[in-house]
């Protein structure tokens, strides 16, 4: 599939295969762009400024709603493509499609709500006699750099609010899974003037880096790993930057918790998308009093997962993005076992598949839980009391989301206040998000928020206009 730049299809002499991680088949090829092509995309995006800014908010909103209808009409085709490029079970791809449609719809609605506010200058010294108000204005060109795990919805979380507030966009999709995003941008381009949305494929180290350092890009909206995010923040200079980075989310299960509910939470939280979820349950912190019962029930439910062909609707555990990624998970789990952890079920790799794995006797010092393990692994850390549970939950550089299971709401509130994370859910695993909520981590998990309304705030600048009426 070609890139889309200024409304034209552009290729390159260098091509990269997009491979289905389940069967190794080449699905398609994409161009490997170099710096010159990125410069062309930046120029085309800047050229589209006038035609986009001339559109009324009414028109922008209607056009986004038109794309919503197109995406709905192509839901199954897009889901099939998602499954083949990411290896996620088809039912999960259909859920990603439904969320993508919802995210786009939220942006179409938000396009009509880009408000400023009146500002009482007379509340400040010498401010009497003014009528003042603010406007929220577009920033210019937004570069959206996105990861492989939820390639479509996470990219729509950037493109859609950007266009809703009249920014042009250059999308750099993940090299391993670029196709659904590129196809979606074609739909957008049918509605908006050429150059409003552009795609550039190629390696992050060249294409991504050039977008980050270019003086003609006004905003970087990045979702991906902490390592890349840190590099971007060092290189972006004066540009506005939003960073949605990795997670290492805790789930605390207290002695009074509804164990079945907590087990269900882990099945979703640790194994969804083969554990490749930023807000996945990465550390289960279980009270010693119930840890045994909890682990037994968790093993029983884990063994019910069906690993297999991701395009089969009975499959509940697909592949990881690549064999290399599965090997990394295997190595991390094996190291934890060498250090004293005990596999209760799973622990075996087959190509890009890694079994759903429950691992007990994990300690906070193990790499398995110090770093983000991006695979289907549920590590159990046993603790003796509330203080220890909260301490372990916070003993991490990450702070994306967290879940606390208890029926004691005073205890739940204490945890919610003391856990350092962007979101704390009570009686729900961290692996939950609605697309309108403010989403974004504390500590190394990120800078800024997404969730359409919040993304619009990060993609606009505020101008104050003051009329001296005296």
Establish if 29 lies at the interface with ligand NAP (CB under 6 A): no
Establish if 31 lies at the interface with ligand NAP (CB under 6 A): no
Establish if 278 lies at the interface with ligand NAP (CB under 6 A): yes
The DSSP-derived string for 385-412 is: SHHHHHHHHHSSS--SEEEEE-S-HHHH
Contact yes or no for 148/177 (Cβ under 8 A): yes
The residue behind tokens 């260098």 is 14
Q: Per the residue annotation, which of 44, 96, 244, 355 is the catalytic one?
A: 244
Distance from CA of residue 384 to its chain's centroid? 34
Residue from 87, 147, 250, 403 in contact with ligand NAP (CB under 6 A): 147
The count of chain residues that interact with ligand NAP, using the rule CB under 6 A, is: 31
Answer yes or no: 244 catalytic.
yes
The DSSP-derived string for 110-179 is: HTT-----EE-GGGSTT-TTEEEEEEEEE-SEEEEE--SSSHHHHHHHHHHHHHHTT-EEEEE--TTS-H
Establish if 232 lies at the interface with ligand NAP (CB under 6 A): yes
Q: Which stretch binds ligand NAP (CB under 6 A): 244-252, 284-292, 379-387, 423-431?
A: 244-252
Q: How far is CA 411 from CA 269, 285, 359, 416, in A?
A: 22, 15, 27, 9
Per DSSP, which regions of 406-459 are E strands? 423-426, 446-447
Residue from 153, 223, 273, 345 in contact with ligand NAP (CB under 6 A): 223
Q: Which is nearer to ligand NAP, 121 or 145 (CB)?
A: 145
Q: Which stretch binds ligand NAP (CB under 6 A): 32-40, 182-190, 226-234, 354-362?
A: 226-234
Residue from 44, 85, 110, 209 in contact with ligand NAP (CB under 6 A): 209
Contact yes or no for 326/352 (Cβ under 8 A): yes
**What is the Cα–Cα distance from 23 to 306, expressed in whole angstroms?**
17
Q: Which is nearer to ligand NAP, 193 or 448 (CB)?
A: 448
From 51, 53, 38, 50, select the one nearest 5 (Cα to Cα). 38
Element (H, E) at 358: strand 357-360
Establish if 398 lies at the interface with ligand NAP (CB under 6 A): no
Establish if 203 lies at the interface with ligand NAP (CB under 6 A): yes
Binding mask 97-126 for ligand NAP (x = CB under 6 A): ------------------------------
From 46, 21, 452, select the one nearest 274 (Cα to Cα). 21
Residue from 145, 251, 266, 393 in contact with ligand NAP (CB under 6 A): 145
As annotated, the active-site residues are: 244, 278
Interacting residues toward ligand NAP by CB under 6 A: 145-149, 154, 172, 174-176, 203-205, 208-209, 212, 223-225, 228, 231-232, 244-247, 278, 372, 374, 400, 446
């Amino acid at each position: 599939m070609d890139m889309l730049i200024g409304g034209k299809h552009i290729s390159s002499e260098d091509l990269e295969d997009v491979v289905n991680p389940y069967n190794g088949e080449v699905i398609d090829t994409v161009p490997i762009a170099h710096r010159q092509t990125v410069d062309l995309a930046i120029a085309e995006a800047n050229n589209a400024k006038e035609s986009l800014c001339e559109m009324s908010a009414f028109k922008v909103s209607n056009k986004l709603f038109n794309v919503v209808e197109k995406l709905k009409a192509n839901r199954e085709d897009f889901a099939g493509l998602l499954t083949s490029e990411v290896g996620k079970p088809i039912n999960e791809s259909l859920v990603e499609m439904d969320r993508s449609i919802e995210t786009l719809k939220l942006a179409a609605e938000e396009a009509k709500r880009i408000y400023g506010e009146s500002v009482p200058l007379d509340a400040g010294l010498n401010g009497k006699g003014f009528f003042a108000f603010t406007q929220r204005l577009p920033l210019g060109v937004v570069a959206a750099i996105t990861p492989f795990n939820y390639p479509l919805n996470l990219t729509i979380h950037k493109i859609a609010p950007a266009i809703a507030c009249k920014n042009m966009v250059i999308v750099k999709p993940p090299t391993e899974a670029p196709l659904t995003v590129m196809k979606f941008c074609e739909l957008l381009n049918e509605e908006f003037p050429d150059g409003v949305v552009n795609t550039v494929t190629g390696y992050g180290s060249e294409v991504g880096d050039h977008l980050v350092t270019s003086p003609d890009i006004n905003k970087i909206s990045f979702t991906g790993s902490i390592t890349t995010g840190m590099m971007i923040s060092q290189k972006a200079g004066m540009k506005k930057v939003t960073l949605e980075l990795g997670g290492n989310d805790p789930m605390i299960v207290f002695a009074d918790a509804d164990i079945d509910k907590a087990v269900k939470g882990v099945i979703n939280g640790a194994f969804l998308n083969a554990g490749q979820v930023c807000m996945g349950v990465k550390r289960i912190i279980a009270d010693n009093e119930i840890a045994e019962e909890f682990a037994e029930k968790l093993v029983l439910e884990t063994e019910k997962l069906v690993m297999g062909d991701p395009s089969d609707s009975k499959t509940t555990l697909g592949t990881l993005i690549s064999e290399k990624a599965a090997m990394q998970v295997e190595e991390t789990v094996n190291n934890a076992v060498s250090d004293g952890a005990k596999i209760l079920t799973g622990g075996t790799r087959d190509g890009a598949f890694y079994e759903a794995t429950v691992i007990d006797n994990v300690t906070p010092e193990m790499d398995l839980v110090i770093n983000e393990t991006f695979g289907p692994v549920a590590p159990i850390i046993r603790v003796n009391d509330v203080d220890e549970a909260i301490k372990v939950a916070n003993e991490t550089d990450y702070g994306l989301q967290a879940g606390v299971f208890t029926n004691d709401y005073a205890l739940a509130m204490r945890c919610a206040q003391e856990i350092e994370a962007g979101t704390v859910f009570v009686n729900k695993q961290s692996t939950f998000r609605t697309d309108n909520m403010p989403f974004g981590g504390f500590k190394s998990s990120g800078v800024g928020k997404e969730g359409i309304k919040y993304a619009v705030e990060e993609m606009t600048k505020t101008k104050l206009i003051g009329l001296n009426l005296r």
